[in-house]
Amino acid sequence: MTPELKPNENANPIKVQAVDFSFSYGSNVALKSINLDIERNSLLTIMGPTASGKTTFLRALNRLNDRVGGTSHKGRLLLDGIDVYSPKVDVAELRRKVGMVFALPQSLPMSIYDNVAYGPRKKGPISKVQLDEIVEKALKAASLFDEVKDRFASNAQKLSGGQQQRLSLARVLAVKPEVILLDEPTSGLDPLSTLRIEELLQTLRRDYTVVLVTHNPAQASRVQGQIAFLYMGELVEVGPAGEMFMRPKDKRTEDYITGKYG
């Protein structure tokens, strides 16, 4: 029987948990015995320099790394207490519950409306009234509705970069995930679009568990929440943003946030 990847209302507040979790690409160990708890309806920022394992951790959470040959893992990576790498887990259902927004906007070559409606339609028959409601709600949650409500039929790829990134987020929200992963979502955006995305994170955490990856310490500081610092595949430390930036416990963290490397 396939384990049900759904939250238990009486369970502890931990939504995602890594227990001695390691991940390798062939002989290259990208993550080394990671132990990390992520609470429900929280915002966790994972920061660290390039090749520190940040994206690998995100892709492990919804098993996108399955598409890469020669990979292996050790330990456990749990969603609501169930190991996502259990052979009984439905990977398609896992990826619905754990949605991901990538560094580059992933708009599909179709209308704005059809981009957001794509996921709900794939799940099965749905009425036009229900679909309209889902699309509107997702676009509003992504702070995009007011900008596109009069041009739903327009090609989504004609939107600005910042708008396409929020559209990518709306497409994830339309399938009603429980965890939202964002992998450097503002890396190619202008400062104003970056600010819009960062502000959205504070709203999204009320209804979702949000995990943001960034190589920018300043961004990690701005969005607040909890911060995990990864370096060369090792989880160096975890703590509240204010505490980590004011009183880092590890010299490597201090060197990174003060720009000595990264």
pLDDT > 90 in the chain, percent: 87
Q: What are the DSSP calls for 60-74, one per residue?
A: HHTTGGGGSTTEEEE
Buried b (16+ CB within 10 A) or exposed e, 21-44: bbbbeeeebbbbebebbbebebbb
- pLDDT band for 7, please (50, 70, 90 cuts): very low
User: Average pLDDT, whole number, for the chain?
Assistant: 92
pLDDT at 156 > cutoff 60: yes
- The H-assigned helical ranges of 110-181 are 112-123, 128-141, 145-148, 161-173
Q: What is the pLDDT of residue 90?
A: 95
Cα–Cα distance, 16 to 40 (Å, whole number): 8
Query: Domain residues of the chain, as ranges?
Result: 14-257
CA 161 to chain centre: 18
Q: What separation in angstroms does the CA of 157 have from each of 56, 110, 112, 132, 200?
A: 28, 8, 8, 21, 22
CA dist 121 → 11, 97, 154 (Å): 32, 16, 19
How many other CB atoms are there within 10 angstroms of residue 10's CB atom? 5
The predicted pLDDT at position 262 comes to 63
CA 62 to chain centre: 10
Is the pTM above the cut of 0.75? Answer: yes
Residue 261's pLDDT band (cuts 50, 70, 90):
confident
| Counts of helices then strands in the chain (DSSP H, E) | 10, 10
pLDDT band at 188 (very low <50, low <70, confident <90, very high): confident
Tell me which of 3.90.79.10, 3.40.50.12280, 3.40.50.2000, 3.40.50.300 is the CATH number of domain 14-257. Answer: 3.40.50.300
Question: What confidence tens digit (pLDDT) does each residue in 40-62 have?
Answer: 999 999 999 999 999 999 999 99
